[in-house]
């Protein structure tokens, strides 16, 4: 299951509503990407959502 290791964002559930107002279950997955990030003093590959990447919550290694 996709999950951001920074903010903990996971899949959300809701209803798909048709034109005739019939409701069926559906899921929304976060935009999770596997990136290299500095965790503590080491560089690790972690799963991070696009919002955390964009807002600068993830410290990227300088190569």
pLDDT in tens, 29-62: 999 999 999 999 999 999 999 999 999 999 999 8
Q: How many domains does the chain have?
A: 1
Q: Write the DSSP assignment of 1-63 as a string of letters.
A: ----TTT----EEEEEE-TT--EEEEEE---EEEEEEEETTEEEEEEEEHHHHHHT-S-----
pLDDT in tens, 7-21: 999 999 999 999 999
Cβ pair 15, 5 in contact under 8 A:
no
Could you list the residue range(s) of the whole structural domain that residue 37 is in? 12-55
Instruction: Indicate whether 27 belongs to any domain.
Output: yes
How many whole angstroms separate alpha carbon 2 and alpha carbon 4?
Answer: 7
Instruction: Indicate whether 30 belongs to any domain.
Output: yes
Instruction: Indicate whether 4 belongs to any domain.
Output: no
pTM: 0.80
Instruction: Indicate whether 18 belongs to any domain.
Output: yes
């Amino acid at each position: 299951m996709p999950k951001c290791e920074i903010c903990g964002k996971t899949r959300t559930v809701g209803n798909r509503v048709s034109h005739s107002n019939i409701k069926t279950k559906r899921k929304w997955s976060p935009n999770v990407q596997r990136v290299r990030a500095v965790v503590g003093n080491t560089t690790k590959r972690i799963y991070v959502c696009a919002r955390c990447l964009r807002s600068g919550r993830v410290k990227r290694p300088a190569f």
